[in-house]
Every structure is written in structure tokens, then in C-alpha cells.
A and B are shown apart, each in its own frame.
Chain A
Amino acid sequence: MSASGPPTYRSVAAEGIASPRLQKSLHGLQQRFGKGAMELWATMADQGLRRRVKAARMNTFAHLDIVLAELAKNVRARGGQVHFAASAADAIEYTLGVAQKKAVKRVVKGKSMTSMEINVDAALEEAGIEVVETDLGEYIIQLAGDKPSHIIAPCIHLDRQQIGELFTEKLGIDYSNDPPTLTMAARKALREKMLGADMGLTGCNLACAETGQISLVSNEGNIRMATTMPPVVVALMGMERVVATLDDHREALQLLTRGAALQKLSTYVSFLGGPSSAGDPDGPKEFHLVIIDNGRSKILADPEFREVLACIRCGACLNICPVYGKIGGHAYMSPYCGPIGAVVTPLLDGINKHADLCKGETLCGACKDICPVENDLPRMLAALRHTLAYGSERWQVRQHNRAEAWGYKVWLLLVGNPVLYRWALRVGRFCQKPFVGKNRLISKLAGLASGWTNERDLPPIAGQTFHERWTTNRADHRSGAKRDPREGS
């Protein structure tokens, strides 16, 4: 399918569905983490936690200018440097500027979706800087020249044999398909990279304005390495990734690690807010925090979608979504996949450009049930469909399918006019004749209508409508009653 033309949502989804390997991994993942998270929410002692965190997130957004100013002030007070970047280009320019000023030759990255969103790697590499992903999954993806397909399990679409072959080719080790052996090989290779890096580049899970710190969660320790060993650390954060106080931090953190991997806490939660203090034996000499808008303020401005900023990027919705569970992450063509990706990708990168995403989801509501902050993703998916159906000036969306919109206009005219409607039915009955198959279903329509029958059969228009049958039957009934006077006596 993908052989003809560039990959599309449809073609990549079809590839995912056709891959037994991916189907097996996704099934395992959803069985364990999806079900696990639902059980956790149901049995959690503190049943108000999710609602409180959501309320706190929304309250922070209503005061985001104050909270970000406080964060910046407190980071600066610690000797850290804060840069506000309105766009991806701005964030890249700043990051690259820091790297070049410090004559950086190698950057080690802690897993960061924001860095993928702005595509900073390409800019660094173009400037001759080596960029190394350090999360094991991301490292494997990088070696394979591939793209991640899950927020916390980036290489879920690869199996141990493929990874074994990849390591033999790229790291020159003897072939093995044993996960511990492969992990140790990566541990050794990445240790060299991390200890010899000039700059660490990370994201930010939750920044705390009150203390002027960012916090990062990881299980592997790569993010601690990237923020401890290199002399320069740059952290990229979306402007919504902030909480006001430590109290807010504690509550949001507990939802993050539980939603992501059913953990009370991830192995490491590290807090960092500036260069190392006088007397500290280690830590970075320079710390830069880049606070990025890149389309988020537009989401903030729209009450319909503001809620999506409350997302804490745990990935739980991927672990339950029936659509993601079949097609995998690649079809979404974005660093943000699954139900959250289907909402946030169009909002950040163009609703028309990513029109397939909101249409592909089923609106079954599972993502809302599992979301630790109870984001109503189905509502927002429907709202995105609304902008596509009618166009939107605010989001610069042009009507997605004019033919369909025209079709509905005609439909509106017909259903409002019984005479026209009945006439159209008769025409339809006549025109459908050549299309009705032996099974008495329509499997293939012509022209524009063929889209309807690509994946399904349609029942033909009935020979008689209910209304017509009613009229005939009642007429029969009445005349019958006249013919048989004994009835009812």
C-alpha cells in the first residue's frame, strides 16, 4: 500500500495491523498497563486525587503568566538561565547558540518529546554536533534510523531478534537475542557517550515554580546522567509543563508515575534548578531552561481545547485505546501518538494536515476513563471533527470535505420535504438495482459514493418504506373489517 505515494495514516495503519509482531506487543502492553491503570484508579484510596490535580492544572493555566514568571525568577536566582521561546525556530536557535558558544561536540539526550516536536536534533547535527539518545528504547530507534511508536516504550514495534541484529551491525557485538545481554551492551556503549558528553539535552516532566526547579522521571538513570555529568545542561519544556507549588508537584507526580507504568514512583525523580552550587563536588556548570510556546498559547486561548494542556504525558491513553492498540504509534506521524496525539498533534501542527487522526478514533471514551487528569479527549476529538466539517477561522481550518458537506445540504433539503423525499427514494430504488449483489447487499458503489463501500457492505433501500407499508396495511385492515362484520361482536 505504501509503495504508491508517501505514507499516509491509512497506509501506515494498514502496515501496523498486518504486523503480527506489533499486534502481539500492543496486546501485551494494553493487557498489562491499560487494565492495570484502570484497576489502580478504581482501588486508589485517595479517590479525589485525579480531580484535584486536574483542578490545580487548570487553575495554573488561568494564572500561567504569573506562574511562569515566578519559575523564571526562581531559576535565575539560582544561577540558571531562562529563555522564553515563542516558536520552535526560536528554541532551536537558542539551543544551538548555547552549544556553539560552548564548542559542544557531543550532546546526550534524555528522552524528550518536546525536542522531537521542535526537531532540534536535525539542527544540531547539521552544525556538526553528535546527538545521542540515551533512553535504551530511543537509542535503539536512533540506531535503526526509525521513529518511536509509544510514549514510554518507544521501540515496542521491534522484537529481540531485530534488536540483536541491529546491535551486531551497529555496535559490533556478537549476535544475541537475550534482553539482558543486549541491555548490557547498550549500557557499556552509552556510558562512554554519556561520560564524554559536552552537553545534556532533556525535556521536563514537571517544573515547580515555587522552588524554581524542573523535575525529571526515569527508570534507567539516563536522564540523571545527562543532567549530572556534562558541563552544560539545556532543558526544553512546553510552557504548560509547570505546577505552582511543591504540594501540586507531589500530587501530579503520583499520577504521572502511576499512569505511565503503574509505579508508586519511577526509579529516579531528579530535581534541578540551576548550575551546581559552590562546594558541590559535581553537577553542571551551566543550566539553561527553554520555555516553549510553539502553538500552545493558541490552545490556551480556546476554552474548547484548553483542557488538553492538563495532560501530564504519561501515555496511559495509549494503553487502552482500541485504535492505537491495532494500528500502533507510527500511523499518527507525530511525536505524540494515541488518543492524546490525535488531539494535540492537529492543534499544534495543523488540523487539516492531520485530519485523519480525529476521524480515526472511535470516540468510545476509554481514553477519558483512564486519563489520570480525566481529560475529555472524546469531546475534543468530536470538536476537532466539527472544525473539519464546518471550517474554523480561529484555527484556520478549511472545510475538510466539500462534497460531503454538499451531500448533507441536499439531505437536509430532502428530509424537510416529504414529497421530494419520497420521489428521491423512488429514484434511489431504481438507480441502486445494478449495484445490489447476490447476497442482497451493495458491496460497491460508483464515483464519490465508492468511499462508503470500500470497507463495508450497505443494505439496499427497501422495496417499501415503513410509511408505505403502514399506509397499505391500514387500508387492508380497514377494508378487511368491513368484509367481516362478525369480528368484534
Chain B
Amino acid sequence: MDKQTAFLRTIRHCLGLPAEGERSKESFPALFATADRSGILRAIRTRNTEEQDELLRLFLTNADALGIRTHVVASQEAVADLIVNLAVTKTPEFTPAKHIIHHDHPHLNALQLRNRLDIEGITVHTSRGDDRQMREKTIASFIGITVPDMGVADSATLIQLTKPGCSRSISLVPSIHIAVLKKEHVVADLREAYALLQEQPHLDSMVFITGPSKTADIEAQMVHGAHGPREVHVLIY
């Protein structure tokens, strides 16, 4: 703590304050005050189907411009069909064998992917906190499937909180990222998204994902697939 004390003392000195005598945040209630978000939250909760559909349309338009492939489907079965189709038709980038991995999430577990892909010779892994081979399985997988907590229409962003069973690397290490998003989890913009995040009791690690990994470092030419997934599919139902 010594270095911290000295460091903060220097700051106080530089601000023209008495160096001794720590200042406490309680004396400055405005500093960490948060704007009232009840109006925003109410708007999200009372949104009708029409408004929700409009947000979805906006999400799809913005996603398209960013090279995200979107698929709006009617049912859980259709989600499973699409994933199976992608897993069968796409070619792995780094390994000859086909492995895919998904978050340990009820929406995904309900798809019965293991049963359906077994007969195709594709190995399906589920992300689990107690599995010591998680890392190897993720690296071996060419498709990673996640369930984002939110979609943001204004920027076509997926917001993924890290939770037990919902690892960070599934949306990062495999070449293809498939996100399965519920229509009602699409919010309008970052203001709404942050308002919902602020409702979380304890924010841990999280990531905003807006499109496939990309770079324009060589002569400003855009190339998808720098280090993260080169393809992002969003399945919305």
C-alpha cells in the first residue's frame, strides 16, 4: 500500500490540495452518481412487438453492412438445422478433424446437437468450468456457438458476459462464431445496453462483439479474420 499512498499523495499535491489527509468518495457524492435509468428500463420492458420487430430490422441492416451473416428463423428446430448445416458444409481452418464447441446454456443444450452431429462424424463439446481439457477442446474446434446476453441494434453488437459455462474463448478462438440470439434480447442502443448492464449486481469480464475479426493494416485493405473468427453468424429466433 505504500506506493499507492505516495502515488495518491503526489496527485493531491499536484492538484494543489494538502498532500496529507486522504479524500473519500463519500465527500463527493456527484462523482460516482449514476444518471437515473428508470425511464430507459421502462422503455425496454414495455416495448411492444412492433417496436421490437423494428429493432430487429435495424440490427439486421447494420449487421449486413459489417459482414455479419444473419439468419432469422422461426423455431428452435430451425436453429438446430442451421447449425448442423453450417457444421457439415464448412471446412475447418487449422485441423483436419471437425470439432465444434458451445456454451453450456439451456438454449443450446436443448438443440441436441451431439445426437445430430455424431452421425456426421463431428465431435461436439460443451464448455464446462470443471473440464480441465476445455482449452484443448476450444482450440481444436472450428466452430464456437454462444448465447449472447444482448444484441444492440444501433451497432449490430453482441454483448457476452462471462459466466460459469459461458467461456470467453468460444467466441474468439474457433474460425467461425455462431451466436444464437433471442429476438427479445435485442435492445436499441448502447444507452439501453449499459442501463441493463448496470442492473447486474456484479459485472465480471465481458465482451462486446461487433462483426468478424478484421484488420486493414496492410495498405488499408480490409481483411476479415485477423486473429478472431473470420465468420460471424447470428441466428435469431
Cβ–Cβ contact A281 & B167, under 8 A? yes
Cβ–Cβ contact A247 & B194, under 8 A? yes
Point out the residue from A66, A228, A264 that lies within 8 Å of B172, measured CB to CB: A228
A83 at the A/B interface (Cβ < 8 Å)? Answer: yes
Cβ–Cβ contact B172 & A65, under 8 A? no
A471–B217 Cα distance when bound, in Å, is 67
A78 at the A/B interface (Cβ < 8 Å)? Answer: yes
Q: Within 8 Å CB of B23, what residues of A? A: 63, 65-66
Q: Within 8 Å CB of A402, what residues of B? A: none
- In this complex, the interface size class of chain A, counting residues with CB under 8 Å from chain B, is 35 or more
B203 at the A/B interface (Cβ < 8 Å)? Answer: yes
B158 to chain A, nearest CB (A): 10
B60 to chain A, nearest CB (A): 15
Cβ–Cβ contact A221 & B167, under 8 A? no
Residue with the greatest number of chain A CB neighbours at <10 A, chosen from B10, B28, B225: B10
Cβ–Cβ contact B212 & A267, under 8 A? yes
Point out the residue from A183, A188, A228, A282 that lies within 8 Å of B215, measured CB to CB: A183
Point out the residue from A29, A78, A279 that lies within 8 Å of B220, measured CB to CB: A29
Interface residues of B in 162-180 (CB under 8 A from A): 162-165, 167-169, 172-173
Mask of B1-42 contacts with A, CB within 8 angstroms, 1/0: 001101110111111100000111100100111110000000
Point out the residue from A70, A84, A210, A298 that lies within 8 Å of B7, measured CB to CB: A84
Among B44-52, B110-118, B126-134, which stretch is in contact with chain A? B126-134
Interface residues of B in 143-172 (CB under 8 A from A): 154-155, 157, 162-165, 167-169, 172
A72 at the A/B interface (Cβ < 8 Å)? Answer: yes
A47 to chain B, nearest CB (A): 16
Given A191-B94, A224-B207, A268-B209, answer yes or no on A280-B167 (Cβ-Cβ < 8 Å). yes
- SS class of chain B's interface: helix, strand, loop or mixed? loop
Cβ–Cβ contact A293 & B220, under 8 A? no
A269 at the A/B interface (Cβ < 8 Å)? Answer: yes
Cβ–Cβ contact B218 & A183, under 8 A? yes
Cβ–Cβ contact A86 & B217, under 8 A? no
Cβ–Cβ contact B3 & A221, under 8 A? no
A380 to chain B, nearest CB (A): 17
Q: Within 8 Å CB of B173, what residues of A? A: 195, 225, 229
B202 to chain A, nearest CB (A): 9
A159 at the A/B interface (Cβ < 8 Å)? Answer: yes
Given A85-B3, A179-B223, A228-B169, answer yes or no on A267-B213 (Cβ-Cβ < 8 Å). yes
Cβ–Cβ contact A301 & B168, under 8 A? no
Given A267-B211, A282-B138, answer yes or no on A183-B226 (Cβ-Cβ < 8 Å). yes
Cβ–Cβ contact A267 & B172, under 8 A? no
Q: Within 8 Å CB of B90, what residues of A? A: none
Point out the residue from A64, A140, A276 that lies within 8 Å of B217, measured CB to CB: A140
Cβ–Cβ contact B219 & A25, under 8 A? yes
A196–B167 Cα distance when bound, in Å, is 19
Mask of B99-129 contacts with A, CB within 8 angstroms, 1/0: 0000000000000000000000000000111
A488 at the A/B interface (Cβ < 8 Å)? Answer: no
Give the residue name and chain of the B residue nearest to A82 (CB).
B4
Q: Within 8 Å CB of A320, what residues of B? A: none
B70 at the A/B interface (Cβ < 8 Å)? Answer: no
A29–B229 Cα distance when bound, in Å, is 26
Point out the residue from B6, B13, B210, B226 that lies within 8 Å of A266, measured CB to CB: B210
Cβ–Cβ contact A220 & B213, under 8 A? yes
How many residue pairs at the A-B interface have CB separations less than 8 Å? 245
Cβ–Cβ contact A273 & B204, under 8 A? yes
B57 at the A/B interface (Cβ < 8 Å)? Answer: no
B52 to chain A, nearest CB (A): 21
Give the residue name and chain of the A residue nearest to B175 (CB).
A187
Interface residues of A in 298-326 (CB under 8 A from B): 298, 300-301
A265 at the A/B interface (Cβ < 8 Å)? Answer: yes
A141–B33 Cα distance when bound, in Å, is 44
Q: Within 8 Å CB of B236, what residues of A? A: none
Given A66-B24, A264-B210, answer yes or no on A280-B162 (Cβ-Cβ < 8 Å). yes
Q: Within 8 Å CB of B14, what residues of A? A: 297-298, 300-301
B185 to chain A, nearest CB (A): 17
A268–B211 Cα distance when bound, in Å, is 8
Q: Within 8 Å CB of B94, what residues of A? A: 188, 191
B92 at the A/B interface (Cβ < 8 Å)? Answer: no
Cβ–Cβ contact A291 & B7, under 8 A? yes
A180 at the A/B interface (Cβ < 8 Å)? Answer: yes
Q: Within 8 Å CB of B229, what residues of A? A: 221
A158 to chain B, nearest CB (A): 8
Give the residue name and chain of the A residue nearest to B11 (CB).
A65
Point out the residue from B10, B157, B203, B226 that lies within 8 Å of A187, measured CB to CB: B226
A211–B155 Cα distance when bound, in Å, is 23
Q: Within 8 Å CB of A220, what residues of B? A: 213-215, 226-228
Cβ–Cβ contact A66 & B214, under 8 A? no
A59 at the A/B interface (Cβ < 8 Å)? Answer: yes
Cβ–Cβ contact A228 & B3, under 8 A? no
A151 to chain B, nearest CB (A): 12
Among A12-20, A129-137, A432-440, A447-455, which stretch is in contact with chain B? A129-137
B75 at the A/B interface (Cβ < 8 Å)? Answer: no
A309 to chain B, nearest CB (A): 11
A267–B208 Cα distance when bound, in Å, is 8
A273–B23 Cα distance when bound, in Å, is 24
A210–B154 Cα distance when bound, in Å, is 25
Give the residue name and chain of the B residue nearest to A180 (CB).
B223
A220–B226 Cα distance when bound, in Å, is 5
Cβ–Cβ contact A66 & B31, under 8 A? yes
Cβ–Cβ contact A283 & B10, under 8 A? no
B197 at the A/B interface (Cβ < 8 Å)? Answer: yes
Point out the residue from A70, A163, A187, A297 that lies within 8 Å of B32, measured CB to CB: A70
B97 at the A/B interface (Cβ < 8 Å)? Answer: no
A272–B208 Cα distance when bound, in Å, is 12
Which residues does B use to contact A, with CB under 8 Å?
Answer: 3-4, 6-8, 10-16, 22-25, 28, 31-35, 94, 127-131, 134-135, 138-139, 154-155, 157, 162-165, 167-169, 172-173, 190-191, 194, 197-198, 203-221, 223, 225-229
Given A183-B218, A220-B227, A276-B162, 13 extra CB contacts under 8 A = A29-B220, A65-B11, A66-B25, A70-B32, A155-B217, A163-B218, A187-B226, A225-B228, A228-B168, A246-B34, A265-B155, A281-B129, A281-B131
* 26 A–B contacts, CB within 8 A, in A order: A25-B219, A65-B11, A66-B31, A69-B8, A78-B204, A82-B4, A84-B3, A86-B3, A136-B217, A156-B220, A179-B218, A183-B225, A219-B213, A219-B214, A220-B213, A220-B226, A270-B207, A271-B207, A277-B164, A277-B204, A280-B168, A282-B169, A283-B167, A298-B14, A300-B14, A301-B14
